[in-house]
Structures are given as structure tokens and as C-alpha cells.
Chains A and B, each alone.
Chain A
């Protein structure tokens, strides 16, 4: 069959393989003749049938079956061994009171043991022998000998050369220290100045306070005196006014009393009780009685008047008639 498969390097160097599908040949065990018949894959034992996604589990029945078969097999073997043992002949048992013992019967007895006789033999080469020291290699002298040496003072004069270095070092150090000292001195100077100023200021401040206090005291004293004076004046004025008022009142009230009595008398506050009584009780009653009497009389007179009037009235027509009649 021609190979229709191809494996070649792909375009980017990957390996590809492709082949045409071909049917499976049915090869016999012994390669006798080259006859190839196509087998039926349905009956091919190499083909797995059924679910290939998961492993095929043996059913429990099969498992028990397998175990039983294993047991059987084991028992058969044991049986076989046992029978083999039985077939082998053995010596009879020892008589009572005696014991069988294993004994060697060879000519030369040998010790039977599991320990193997050993003997240790070692062999070693000598450790490294000391290498003899290499002889000093002194090459043969060749060429001219030349020597040189730097004497003192040839390269440079140390004292002179070190000057600038020293100057720089010491200069810097001293400069730094001078700076610091000047700084402190300046600060001390400032502080001393400040102190002197403060002292003066404090002294002057105290003076100012003293003067202020003095001023305050004087002022208060003055004010107190003025107040006192004012008070005294006021008292005096008050006294004068009091005196004047007193004189005036005295004078005013001198004839107050008789006037009062007079007016009282006028208004009738001083009265004779009997007279008063007569006035108040008796006279009104008298007057009332008189009045009533007069009233009665008046009433009587009026009655009489009315009587007369009535009569006159009644008589009037009569009299008029009388008057007219006589004329007739």
C-alpha cells in the first residue's frame, strides 16, 4: 500500500501529519502468506466499543467472579504443594524417651554455619612522598648590572611641599573656629547690649511708675480735698437755708393759731350743746308741728273756699235767673 501520509515541515516550521483514511488489515499471528483480508471492525478485538469518555467499570458481578476465580486458583496451587509434600517420604518419629539428632556422617566434620569466614586484607599505595624542594633556580647572570636609589631631597622637599597642605588644613580649621568664636562674641555683645538696655529700661520704668503713682496720689488727694470742700460748702448752704426757712415759718405760723380758731368758730365747730340740741331737734319738730297745724288750717280754709266756691257756683245760675227775672 502506498503511503499516502505526509509529514512535512509547515510554513512556520511546525510539524504536520496527514494521511488518507485506510481500512484496518486483519493480520494473522504467523506471517505465512501475504494475504490481506480486510477485517470487519465490528468484530475486531482492538476496537473499543461503547463510551470512550469515561473508563469502563467492571460490573460488580464480574468483580466477584474474578475474585472467586483467583481464590480457586490459589487453592489449587496450595493443594498441589501439599500433595507434593505428602508424597515425599520422611523418617518415622522418634521413640519415646529418645530424640533424633542431626549428625554429619562424612569423613571430615565441618562446621555448618551461616557465618562465612572472612579475612580482611588491605592494600594501599604509600601516601604522596614528600616532593623534594625544587632547587633554587639561579639563572646564569647575563647583562649589565644597573642600580638606582632615590636619595633624600631628590624628589621633593617634604617640608616645603607640605606647607600649602598645612596652610589649607590649618587655615580652614582656624577660619571655622574664628567664625564660631566671632559668632558667639557677636551674640554675647548683642546680649550685653540688650541687658544694658533692659536695665536702664527697668530703672526708668520704675521711675515712671513712681511718678505715676505719685501723680495718682496727688490727684486723689486733691480730689479728696475738693470733695471735702464741696461737702463743707454744701453743708453750710444747707444750714443757711434751714435757718431762713425756720425764721419764715415761725413768722408765718405766729398768727396761725388765732386765725384757725376764728375760722373754726365761724364755721361753727365750737357750739353750745344745748343750743345745738334745741336747734337740731326741737326747732325742726316745732316747725314741723307749726307747719302741720298751718297746713291743717290751710286745708280747712281751702276746703271752705271750695265749699264756698261750689255753693257760689251753684247759686250763680240761680242768681242770674233771679237777676233776669226781676228785670222782666
Chain B
């Protein structure tokens, strides 16, 4: 009898151990080198329950990097493609889980990106089973975090936008958050496809969602989109700025940071500047800047927020109205640019802000 996988139920009764499967939901694992090939051989059996058990064992085994390497290097990943088309929803879900585990390693990610599994995965996004869809989204998300993955997923952006539109009827929060996160990763590489599919309007609607995860991801996506000039003008037209200004007063630091980032990108154009000044965003940003938390870790989390606020203020200072108001607040900015501020990036950003504010023609 093999050493049972650690995630099984711990029945350490010797009499039960002999020859009987300890965990009925997992297939027995062969010893050493043969574990993976044997489990993959079980995956082509006609009985769905056995396939499920083999998949469960595989999920456990792939936590080990050695095994994962074996899986990838011996080319077993392609066999998973057949499973993704399987009739049984549980099998598909487990396969997605396996793929998700696999994407935590680089070789596996690269193998995935170059295999036809990606096309199959994108078909799974329309799967009838919600759990399967969630897992498929997770895999997509973890792939998108990689730049090469984001590039490969560019082709899928129209489909993802469509999904975003559909997801409005469903209340799957995790799926929406994952979807938005994937979109923001892809848009960081190239925001044009998402933009051309009405990205601004769709994501703008998500900004006021109840769940803070979704708000954060939506604000992040908006930030990624608004680096293109066209997007900036769309944002101004679509009246998204008031929503973003509201998000600045949100509870969650990440939501605030992303909203500040989106604003920072939008105020580069003149319309954005004027709208923001009308909306009275200036005091909010200044307040965010002046807050200092005692906890070092909190400060680190707020770093993004502070940086983005500084940049937004810099852009706003280019408008005469903004400059006038910021001149009054100059000490605050100078305070952030001096050595008491630990972070070099913040100091640099603050110095640029000060320069812009005190510029005269």
C-alpha cells in the first residue's frame, strides 16, 4: 500500500489499509515514476466515475513540482483536451481545476499557451455548469497574469466582452471579478480590442456593483483602458467620472487606489481636467494624500493610492484653475517630497507635482 495522499481522510487503521482504497473518491496512485502515466491511462476509460477519481488523484499529485514537470515534459497535457469535451460536467470541472493547478508553474503555462487547449477552454466559458465556468475563468485569469498569456488571450477579448454583457443577468460574483481581472490584464497589453467592443460603457456599469471585488477589478480595468486617448474622451462622455469620484471614498483601499488610477489617466486630457475640477475631486485627492497610517504594512498597501493621487494632482495642476487651488496646498505636496517620506517613488512623484504646480509660463 502506498502512502496515502495527504488530502485524503486519515483512517490509519492498518487492517483497512491493506489493499482497499482509502479514499473512495480518489483512484489509487502507483509508485514513483509510474504514477502519472498510469493515472493518465485511466483517463480514457469509458466509466465517468473512474475518470473522476483519476482526476482527483491527479489534482493532488500536481501540487508536487516534480510530478508537474513529469506531466508537462511527457506531453500528457494534450490528453486533457479530450477530457475538456467530456459529457460529464464533474469531469470537465475537475479538468479545469487541474489546469488551474498546473498554471502555477512556468513550463506548464508555456505548454498550455502553445497547445490547442486554449481554444477548448474558451469554448468551456459557455458551459452549462456554473462551477465549470468558474473554474475555466480561473484558469484564464491565471494565464492572463502572464504577459505572453495576455497576448495569447487578446483574440478572446471580444468573447470576454460579450460574456461581460451577459453576466449582468446572472449574479455570479466570482466569475465577474475574474472576467474583469482577465480583461484588465489583456487591456494592459493592448486596450484597443476591449475599447472597440464598448468596453467603457460595460465596465462603467460594473463600477457601482455591490461587491467590492468587482468594483476593484472594474476600476482596474477602467484604469488599464484609459491609457488610450480615445478611451479618455469616452470616459468623459459616458459620465463615468462621477462614479469614479464616488469610488474614491470607498472603504476598500484597493478600490480607492484603482479609482484614483483611472482618474489619473483620464485627467490627462483637457475635458477630463475640467470635469474633475467641476466634480470637486481635488479636495478628496488631497485628503487621501494627507492621510498617514501608523502601520507600515498599511502604508505599503496605500502606496499605490498615494502614487496615483499624486499623478492625478500633477495632471490637474496643468489647468489654471487647478494650479491656483493647488498653490494653496503646496506645503502638503512639499511634505511628501521630502526625506521623511521613505519611499523614493513617492518622493519623485511629489517633486514632479511640485514642479508642475509652481511652473509659470
Contact = CB atoms under 8 A, between A and B. Distances in A.
B145 A191 contact: yes
B307 A199 contact: yes
A203 interface: yes
A225 interface: no
A214 B323 CA distance: 14
Contact of A210 (B64, B104, B311): B311
Contacts of A205: 227, 265
Contacts of A202: 223, 261, 264-265, 304, 308
A207 B314 contact: yes
Given A172-B6, A179-B63, A209-B227, A199 B304 contact: yes
Nearest to A207: B311
Nearest to B68: A183
B34 interface: no
Interface in A196-223: 198-200, 202-203, 205-207, 209-210, 212-214, 217
Contact of A203 (B6, B268, B345): B345
A231 interface: no
A205 B315 CA distance: 12
A187 B349 CA distance: 29
A173 interface: yes
Mostly, the A contact residues are helix
A177 B308 CA distance: 39
B253 to A, nearest CB: 12
B268 A209 contact: yes
B81 interface: no
Contact of B265 (A191, A206, A217): A206
Contact of B64 (A168, A169, A179): A179
A291 interface: no
Interface residues of A, number: 27
A239 interface: no
Contacts of A172: 3, 6
B37 to A, nearest CB: 21
A209 B270 CA distance: 12
A298 interface: no
Given A203-B308, A206-B268, A173 B6 contact: yes
Contacts of B270: 217
Given A203-B345, A213-B269, A177 B6 contact: yes
B225 to A, nearest CB: 12
Interface in B240-297: 257, 261, 264-265, 268-270
B97 to A, nearest CB: 15
Interface residues of B, number: 30
B173 interface: no
B307 A203 contact: yes
A177 B60 CA distance: 12
Contacts of B197: none
Contacts of B64: 176, 179
Given A183-B104, A199-B303, A206 B311 contact: yes
A207 B352 contact: yes
Nearest to B318: A214
Contact of B104 (A187, A195, A198): A187
B345 A200 contact: yes
Nearest to A199: B304
A241 interface: no
A194 B188 CA distance: 13
A206 B318 contact: no
A84 B254 CA distance: 131
Nearest to A182: B65
A34 B303 CA distance: 142
Nearest to B272: A213
A44 interface: no
Contacts of B261: 202, 206
Nearest to A168: B3
Contacts of A168: 3
Interface in B316-353: 318, 345, 349, 352
Interface in A64-115: none
Interface string B65-109: 100000000000000000000000000000000000000100000
A129 B168 CA distance: 88
A295 interface: no
A212 B232 CA distance: 14
A176 B308 contact: no
Contact of B63 (A169, A183, A191): A183
A176 B3 CA distance: 12
A183 B106 CA distance: 12
A238 interface: no
Contacts of B349: 203, 207
B181 to A, nearest CB: 12
A154 to B, nearest CB: 22
A164 B63 CA distance: 25
A196 to B, nearest CB: 8
Nearest to A187: B104
A180 interface: yes
Interface in A162-180: 168-169, 172-173, 176-177, 179-180
A213 B257 CA distance: 23
Nearest to B12: A169
A206 B260 CA distance: 11
Contacts of A169: 3
9 contacts: A176-B64, A180-B63, A202-B261, A203-B264, A203-B349, A206-B261, A210-B315, A213-B268, A213-B315
Given A202-B264, A207-B311, A214-B318, 8 more contacts: A176-B63, A177-B6, A198-B188, A203-B307, A203-B345, A207-B352, A209-B265, A213-B315
Interface of B: 3, 6, 63-65, 104, 145, 188, 223, 227, 257, 261, 264-265, 268-270, 303-304, 307-308, 310-312, 314-315, 318, 345, 349, 352
The 7 tightest CB contacts between A and B, nearest first, are A199-B304, A206-B311, A203-B307, A209-B268, A176-B6, A206-B264, A213-B268
Interface of A: 168-169, 172-173, 176-177, 179-180, 183, 187, 191, 194-195, 198-200, 202-203, 205-207, 209-210, 212-214, 217
